[in-house]
Structure 1
């Protein structure tokens, strides 16, 4: 009988090299690809569809609703049927949803197609994380996760820059046709990877029992701590994603083509800290780096909030601390995910889905609050970022104080 608790590399053949990293990085990047590419076009979309700024920001929130909730279904499906088939189905839904966005003639219609787009995209993100856990565990999983996040950071780095140019040359609808092409490319790339979850390690549970599994998982205090770290950080992160286009472009007068440079600077920071995390995690451990990242996050968020309310130093008074806030993702996300996955190897799909659902659920709340509280200044952005950082720090402290199960 196969030991389902065996080390992942004993039960799954691990493909190696740049091909594995490139494909998994592409799949993990779908959350960023789907939103960052059209960020510079949001003001133009608002004008074209006759919507106010708050309504256009709901295209981000609507996407995150679908992205967060659908993961709870994809996780158990993948634990039972393997990883590749659900990812392939999700990519097809993403392609259809992207085409619908390109053809939308009103903001509500655009939000609906964004919802379908998200339901498909989240399969790629959640299950690629589970594929990492299929192949590696412990500090090695955290190292690989950090490396992959460095690779996938290319998407948000180039996304606003490329999106701004596409919108300027061909209009905002062309951005969604580009997403259709990316979805097709990812589907073809997926076919080059083997299945990472062997039949011997798949769950025999019926899908209707998935809710019971989630109830068991959320009863684990340590897991809830990891979940909270990611969820609160994403609330601040997506407040940044939804709020900075209008704050930088409309309030501070940054040209849309140059917005991508400011946004991309934060992504460079994420890449740098992910690389540093990959080097340090074997020495200091997941939890210590997680706590250090959360402390730094709180510091930069407070500085951003103060400057957002006072406008003491203008654009740079908020852009610089927000850059440093976003950069802390390198110490937060990979460690929160790998820490959560480490204790439940037999339910990696469900745990990954739960972590992803709560992270992007936090993103829904953060981006929605920025839209609802918007008063035409960066004040709402600063407040939501600070609240998210506070929750992130409290959750990290809870993780450090808890004991690992068993």
Structure 2
């Protein structure tokens, strides 16, 4: 199996004649089981079209740093955090200069500055540009910063009569370098099984109405992705959300709290369980088979029944995971409620967050969490949900004893 199997690769396609090779590179990466997310610079669009790139990658092509829809949830940070590897192919002299000097005036630049994933660059330029002292300085600076390179190779250039070192490495050589680079990255949760719940549940009243909590699923999905990046084998149990399924994990779709509990229990045994879903506390005791109509006699009388407490059932389960984490979404008495949940539900940690309307947490791009354990309370700053997920998983790594001294 390739080291790229089930890895997420962000491919930055730069503006150069070698951009056409990026099409074959996408195909070669996908042959090895990688999911490829393309980012095209404006200049790249002069050489290959987003339509052809997107068709081969089978996903959206990103290009605009100021895209209103993507940047509602800080899209450049999300792209930087969700991927296991960033490949820049072709890498122009300008892109090298920008990254070497910390410039980020487009989406590709912002992603390259924000990523914590390894970066592999495949330079492609005229030999005179590659040999220029400024390019050589930038190359050395990027190497010192930890950026890896493949190529450039010696060969003929697009310009008639030009030859020398500057030709972009062939796609198979880039893939081989990517496999080697990914194989060296530490994945501290490798070999562990994790369950994550995410999103709301919908408890039907009749065929068209339901009881639910507000939840976009962004935080739960981000945590599942961060666990996967750390090497865990992840099962994501998701209520109804509009988010795409993350790559590289098993995703179980459910509607109700009962279905979610069943899916979680079916996923046991596990080493880690993180319960992020906003499960509805109540359901109607008897769902109507027909749509309830207004008949002038006032609102219908609905008898409610309590839904299962999934966190408590797993926290006290005979096959309880070694680490059980819950989320407490509260509008008042945040810490008191979180401490009660910690004691009552058999959890090792509760991440408490204030979901008062003024905070904008529910459905928003950011989160402010307070970590409550038997040892006390740790306040975290306001973070993008992907950042909060990465920090949570770093805490899990330490708690599971899977850090550097492992």
Q: How would you bin the TM-score normalised by the shorter chain?
A: under 0.3
Q: TM-score, normalised by structure 2?
A: 0.23
Q: Give me the TM-score of the superposition, normalised by structure 1.
A: 0.23
Whose RCO is larger (CA < 8 A, sep 6+)? 1
Where is the strand percentage greater, Structure 1 or Structure 2?
2
* Structure of greater Rg: 2
Q: Counting helix residues as a fraction of each chain, which structure ranks higher?
A: 1
